[in-house]
Amino acid sequence: MKEVTAIELKKMKDDGINFQLIDVREDYEYDIANLSGELIPMGELMNNIDKIAKDKDVVVHCRSGARSATAINQLEKMHGFTNLYNLKGGILAYAKEVDSSLATY
């Protein structure tokens, strides 16, 4: 599985790279802290395949990286995606390494 680190994601944002950021956490988690990605909770992901870009890189994240890794594996196996990247360590890593103002839980 391809991954990006929190630092790499920050650089992608800062450099204006055209990519999609998908958050597979639940609504209440998104309300606590988010990276301004598109919220598609894990349980709704397979019903929202059409919302996932196939023509650019897509970074998928969750709290720690485990749910997003599972989601990526499912999307690659069942729908043939080849452009997905897991945020290594999830939003917790981003809060620790990039933006300490993000709430952690």
Q: Residue 56: how many CB atoms within 10 A of its CB? A: 10
- Assess contact for 85 and 3: CB atoms under 8 A: yes
Catalytic residues: 62
- CA 46 centroid distance within chain: 15
The beta strand positions in 1-105, using DSSP E, are 3-4, 20-23, 38-39, 58-61, 84-87
